[in-house]
Chains A and B, each alone.
Chain A
Amino acid sequence: MIRAPRRSGMSWVATLRAPVLWVGLVFAAALLFMPAAAPLFARAFPGVEPPVYARVSFLALWLSHAGLVGAASLAAAVAGIGLGVVVTRPWGAEFRPIVESIATLGQAFPPVAVLALAVPLMGFGARPTLIALALYGFLPIVANTVAGIESVPGAVREAAAAMGMRPVQVLRAVELPLAAPAILAGLRVSVIFGIGTATVGSTVGALTLGTPIIDGLVSDKLNFAIQGAVLVGLFAILVDLIFERLAARYPAGASGTNEGSAARRG
């Protein structure tokens, strides 16, 4: 969700000029009114029937696609932020190499390979896709959570402890808010990759905007593939713009400091 602009400078004119609004409108129109473009596709791909993919509505495909990415990203975020916090605690530091190895492994494994391994275990459909997406999306989130927490200046951390904050208060009031822009950036990468990667799930029967792409490639109907690809692309751009708006809520300097090093003396 985008917060409604409240500052006087952000008038309705600025709202109208925001790219997120226009991309959103174009995406919604493409999603709902693709069949209206049938004559266009009929002319571009003569003899291919039907001109517009119609086995499942694009809206239903998108809802399923967004649901998959949302659920996988949520799982990746809970695990990624949670483990990122754990391995930056003094008592969790020894788990850090293991967590980082798992994250790198998840990223290094191509989602197709995860699907190929998961299908024999779980069968066709959405579930193997969900697993592949969650594994794939885990690394950017955990890596950015760790980097964000570690970027908190030593002097700030020391001051927080010296003021008498309990460790959990230091985490909640200081470390997480200061790490938030980095964590958000990790989520952004994870979700955008997920939107693209989810299309691969259609090879094992998950219903996504990749379904018309796969269908089109298999049955040599390029128009289907184009329709699916355009929608996936617009969806990804729209979500990226929404993340950009969220990131803009963290003003410059809010996480940086004008303070010197926290070197120990004496």
Chain B
Amino acid sequence: MIGFEHAIKTYDGRRAVDDLSLAIAPGEFCVLIGPSGCGKSTTLRMVNRLVEADAGTIRVCGEDVRTLAVEALRRRIGYVIQSVGLFPHWSVADNIATVPRLLGWPEARVRDRVAELLDLLRLDAAIAGRRPHLLSGGQAQRVGVARALAADPDLLLMDEPFGALDAITRAVLQDELARIHKATGKTILFVTHDIDEALRLADTIAVMDQGRIVQCDAPNVLLAKPADPLVRALLGGRGR
């Protein structure tokens, strides 16, 4: 579903992403994890071309992203960030409807889809008309996820989506996301620096350091055979 082939991104002479190759299968939940500055967000953002790779190829559904019109590509990919980025002047319903409206869906279908997503994210239908500043942090991020799922993309990019939430809300939303992943079969590329979150959600964990992937394995393999002192440090004694 997603393929990185020798992707490179350089900022000020420093390689943020250094010859990175990674393949993510359809329906896979892949978590990128690593210390700050390891290039995990940059890697994620190269998929929807918020960051353009300097070299290498990134494929979505087999297609080189550079050959696609950037807006069309982004409308096919859900995107969720830590600071949510809801449009403050639009209602919750209008926020969720962003991509369907960009795609020119008929208004009746947009309305049905918004209702469906409020339901999927267990949001009270009464908040549909509310402005984002009236939402709690957890509600806002649920709306953020609903907005990303609105046009039913096959692929979801999530950049520390729950990083700003309190521990309880975060755990609840992690469960919701696991449920949604199971129910919809979306391919998810998820960035975090929280190893517990990664172990909880991932089918595959890619540990990154200095722009490279240090180890990429299923959580149980990672726990059983950490390939590197960094991975061992990251696991912090879990799994034994």
Contacts and interface: CB of A to CB of B under 8 A. Distances in A.
Contacts of A159: 79, 81, 84-87
Interface residues of A, number: 32
B85 A255 contact: no
Contact of A266 (B38, B71, B79): B38
B85 A155 contact: yes
Interface string A130-163: 0000000000000000000000010111111111
Given A174-B87, A259-B85, A265-B159, A164 B133 contact: no
B89 interface: yes
Given A163-B75, A169-B102, A156 B86 contact: yes
A253 interface: yes
Contact of B36 (A174, A255, A265): A265
Interface in B127-164: 131-135, 137, 140, 147, 159-160, 164
A8 interface: no
Given A163-B99, A163-B102, A266-B191, A261 B41 contact: no
Interface string B93-137: 000001100100000000000000000000000000001111101
Interface residues of B, number: 45
Contacts of A253: 88, 131, 133-134
B79 A162 contact: yes
A179 to B, nearest CB: 10
Interface string B59-89: 0000000000011111100010111111111
Contacts of B132: 257-258
Interface string A95-117: 00000000000000000000000
A172 interface: no
Contact of A161 (B38, B50, B84, B160): B50
Contact of B140 (A174, A177, A259, A264): A259
Given A155-B81, A253-B131, A160 B34 contact: no
A266 B43 contact: yes
Contacts of B32: 266
A3 B164 CA distance: 40
A120 interface: no
A158 B99 contact: no
A178 interface: yes
Interface of A: 153, 155-166, 169, 173-174, 177-178, 251, 253-262, 264-266
Given A257-B88, A265-B159, 17 more contacts: A155-B84, A159-B79, A159-B81, A162-B48, A178-B88, A254-B89, A254-B133, A255-B89, A256-B88, A258-B132, A258-B133, A258-B135, A259-B83, A265-B191, A266-B32, A266-B34, A266-B38
Interface of B: 32, 34, 36-44, 48, 50, 70-75, 79, 81-89, 98-99, 102, 131-135, 137, 140, 147, 159-160, 164, 191, 193
